[in-house]
Amino acid sequence: MAAELTEFRVSNDASDDAAELRRRIAEDGYLFFRKLQDPDQLRQLRLEMLAVIRDGGWLQAGTDLADGTADLSQRCAEGDIAYADVYHEVYKLESFHRAGHWPEVLEKMEQITGGPVLPHPQKIARLWFPQYTEHTTPAHQDFVHFQGSYDTYTCWTPVGDCPIELGGLAVVPGSHKQNAVLEHHFSLGAGSLAVDTEQQAGPWATTNYEIGDSLIFHSLLLHQALPNVTADRLRVSLDNRYQARGLPVAEHMLQPHLNIFHALTWDEVYAGWQSADLQYYWQDVDMPIIPRDMSYAEKGFAEALVLAEQGDEHAHLALRRAIERDPDSEQAQAAAAVLAAL
């Protein structure tokens, strides 16, 4: 992380000017809006998500639910079985999926793309423990993870106020203009891939987010999370992706998040829902579906094997996670062989 943090340009002044919004996102790679989404709706969603998280044992007993006070003894992160066990219960909430279709967000996406959009079925929540900074999401481009089309956009929204110390997103404005996927390497943190930021010029931009604030950015924009350095607050946020209808989408983005390691079907997600209007909605959309390119993940894992042999503790953890997730897989067998030789 560069030492200098600058403030986002706020685009509320151009909210009704689609041409200006498209000019700004072409220039900066992002649009930031204050209170784009309804704070009251987000507060209700926060309570529903935190109730599931509390039932999963991640919050301190006897604390106010709305505060999201984490039990540090339960710390885990994406890649851990314990994380998916609770995360997938949150994932079943109808309100969580419906948030990705709120009209104020769809309207902005249509202004950006110039027409109807497809919200990706694979909605994502980030549930980030405090005092666990080595697992902070590293600098990366989203395209290596969701693929499909470069012209895909993420809308990141904190579900609650998110001051800098809680670990919101930061971006390098204009870094998408290279119009290419940068070299990514093994790292801890969500996605397990990182860009060497020493090769990237320019300051990072961020803000003290308030509930309702929303950051929309291009798939090639370099971004990362800031560390959650609070004493005991869980950071809860939404990661929803959108693209113009008709553009190709990678097949894994039509599956529940983390499904590649932790089996979860849409029928299981939908089992407790009250409405059917958002169930399998994408099946009525005409779009090219392309295979997932596994080369990014495979390269990162190959690097982890080498780093583990050299004594890297982060790589050791990644290999142990691979074994825990699927002990019969080729990756797990390679990981076990490396760890056994240490």
* Angle of CA points 221, 222, 227, to nearest 5°: 135
Q: What is the reported pTM? A: 0.96
Return the closest-CA partner of residue 155 out of 200, 117, 192: 117
Q: Which residues contact 299 (CB under 8 A, 6 or more apart)?
A: 184, 185
Exposure string of 25-38, with b = 16+ CB inside 10 Å and e = fewer, is beebbbbbbeebbe
Q: 5-290, which class in CATH?
A: mainly beta
Tally of CB atoms within 10 A around 159:
26
Tokens 């693929």 appear where? 147
The SS3 of residue 252 is helix
Residue found under tokens 């860009």: 195
Look at residue 2 in the predicted model and tell me its pLDDT: 43
* Burial class (CB within 10 angstroms; exposed 0-12, middle 13-18, buried 19+) of 158: buried
CA distance to 62, 99, 224, per residue, from 237 (Å): 23, 11, 14
Per-residue pLDDT in tens (0 to 9) along the chain, 342 residues: 445 899 999 999 999 999 999 999 999 999 999 999 999 999 999 999 999 999 999 999 999 999 999 999 999 999 899 999 999 999 999 999 999 999 999 999 999 999 999 999 999 999 999 999 999 999 999 999 999 999 999 999 999 999 999 999 999 999 999 999 999 999 998 889 999 877 666 799 999 999 999 999 999 999 999 999 999 999 999 999 999 999 999 999 999 999 876 789 999 999 999 999 999 999 999 999 999 999 999 999 999 999 999 999 999 999 999 999 889 999 999 999 999 999
Give the domain ranges of the chain.
5-290, 294-342
The pLDDT of residue 262: 73
In order of 21, 48, 199, 257, 268, the CA distances from 196 in angstroms are 30, 37, 6, 26, 39
Give the pair of three-digit tokens for residue 333.
Answer: 């067998």
